Structure 1
Amino acid sequence: MRVRTEAKRDAIVEAAAEVFLQAGFEGASMAEIAVRVGGSKATLYGYFSSKEDLFLEVIQYIGRRHFDPIFDSLAQHSGDLRTALQRFGEKMMQLLTDEPIVRAQRAVIAESGRTDIGQRFFRIGPQKGLDDMARFVELQMARGHMRQADPMLAAQQLFALFEVETRMPLLFGLARKVSKPRVRQAVELAVDAFLRIYAPNPPATAPAALPA
């Protein structure tokens, strides 16, 4: 009887991450992953019931390794809100516009019409990011740095502003690469628009006294 170990499982996920990021979901094969890990396809299926399950585990692995630290840094900020959002946006968009990540996103979109992988991917990836951002926004609203509104809607709108000039052109083949200066400028414009929308409500002023 084969004994499963966490070390072997981690090795499979790391090898699979390399293959999926290089070849995309459709182009990746369990056989290639098995070769990289030094085992057989039977070994892989002993840990993961399908290629889809392994791919989603890779998404979580990438999230823990690359995206979680960015959200953690945002949550711990104690300075200017505009600066915090600018730093967050630049780091996030640099990751999301990296060519292997874009290929993986395209693969998920392509598969979403045939299987439930799109829904599963959204729950463990984008939805988690939206939840984290919504908590951050809610805290800023409570502190009076933003006007009171729906935190989740605000989080969705912020990401949409970040992505419209960076990630979206790459996903649809309108651009092949987005430079760091372009990302910085796009994020700056997005943050400016976002903070204009959610600027704190001005304090109410007492009506002027009528002349005697």
Structure 2
Amino acid sequence: MKTKSEARRQHILDVATEVFAETGFERASMAEISARVGGSKATLYNYFPSKEELFLEVMISTNQQQFSAVQQLLKVSDQPLRQVLQGFGEALVKLIYSPDVLAVRRLVIAEAVRSDLGYDCYCRSRKQGEEKIAAELAEAVARQHLKDYPPALMTSHLLTLMESEFIDRMVHRSAPPLTDQEVSAAVARALDVFLGFYSA
């Protein structure tokens, strides 16, 4: 039955999430995941044809709801654009530098030199997010809040600036958690630069 299949698929994802978190992508095995799930490897491969695809599904299913909620904050409206961007930026930085998301990002980067996992992950997650952000910035251009530059370029600059003060945490395993004050101040400085150039 479909309900049973969906429940089984979710159980596999839950178990795989634990295994990847414990061992990392490279050392995790489909045999270990299958043993913990209970059942044959053949059944596991019926749901997920490869370890790479399973990892990608784990990453997306784990974080998609949170990222969608953050993207909803970036809705160009009658509110001042800077206020909208500030709220969006703070929520985004807190999410992408949360321990769980940061761990996934490190795994994806580590695997990017060995397989297509990094690019596949980009296409199914970050790229889609960038396209939604670009659409909102295009709306800001249409409302004459921003200068008429390619939305994809503005998106790249915006995201890079918002993350710029914390990027070293990607390689700093024991960095202390970010405080709300740190994030708010860093996003404000990023917007000083972004809006200093792009404001209409």
**TM-score w.r.t. structure 1 length?**
0.83
- In the alignment, residue 9 of structure 1 is paired with which amino acid? R
For structure 1, which segment, 92-101 or 168-177, has the greater mean C-alpha deviation from structure 2 after superposition? 168-177
Are the structure 2 counterparts of residues 160 and 15 from structure 1 closer, same or farther at C-alpha, using a change threshold of 3 Å?
same
Given that residues 25 and 104 in structure 1 are in contact (C-alpha distance below 8 angstroms), is that contact kept between their aligned partners in structure 2? no
Provide the C-alpha distance between the structure 2 equivalents of 1:157 and 1:21, rounded to a whole number of angstroms.
31
SS of the equivalent of 2:121 reads helix
Q: Aligned residue for 1:170? A: 169
In structure 2, distance between residues paired with 1:63 and 1:183 = 20
- Measured against aligned partners, the alpha-carbon deviations of 1:69-120 in whole angstroms (never above 9, x if no partner) come to 1112323754121111111111111111112222221111111111111110
The aligned residue for residue 9 of structure 2 is: 9
Distance 1:106 1:16 in 2: 17
Q: Which protein is bigger by CA-based radius of gyration? A: 1
Tell me: CA distance 1:72–1:43, structure 2 relative to 1, closer, same or farther (3 Å): same
What SS does structure 1 have at the residue aligned with 2:115?
coil
* Counterpart code for 1:171: M
Rounded Cα–Cα distance in structure 2 between residues aligned with 1:11 and 1:30: 14
Change (3 A) 1:63 1:174: closer
Q: Which residue does 1:125 correspond to in 2?
A: 125
Structure 1 residue 131 displacement after superposition: 0.7
Aligned pair count? Answer: 197
Greater mean deviation of Cα atoms: 26-35 or 151-160: 26-35
Name the amino acid aligned to 2:170.
Answer: L
Looking at structure 1, the residues matched to 29 and 78 of structure 2 have their Cα atoms a distance apart, in angstroms, of: 45
Task: Return closer, same or farther for 1:34/1:174 CA change in 2, 3 Å cut-off.
Answer: closer
CA-CA distance at 1:7 after TM superposition: 2.0
Give runs of aligned pairs for residues 72-83 of structure 1, distance below 5 A.
72-75=72-75, 77-83=77-83
Aligned to 1:89: 89
Q: Letter of the 2:115 partner, please give it.
A: T
Deviation of 1:63 (Å) = 3.9
Question: How many angstroms does 1:64 deviate by?
Answer: 2.4
Task: Indicate conservation of the 8 Å contact 2:75/2:84, yes or no.
Answer: no
CA distance in 2, matches of 1:81, 1:32: 49
Runs of 4+ in 1 over 4 A off after TM superposition: none
How high is the sequence identity, in percent, across the aligned residues? 38
Q: Gaps spanning 5+ residues in structure 1: where? A: 201-212
Q: Which runs of 5+ in 2 are unaligned?
A: none
Determine the C-alpha separation between the residues in 2 that align with 1:72 and 1:25: 31
**Shift of the alpha carbon at 1:32?**
4.5
**What displacement does 1:46 show?**
1.9
| 1:1-212 correspondence to structure 2 within 5 Å | 5-34=5-34, 36-75=36-75, 77-166=77-166, 168-173=167-172, 176-180=175-179, 181-200=181-200
Cα distance in 1 for partners of 2:16, 2:199 equals: 44
**Bigger Cα displacement from structure 2, 33-42 vs 86-95:** 33-42
Higher helix content, 1 or 2:
2
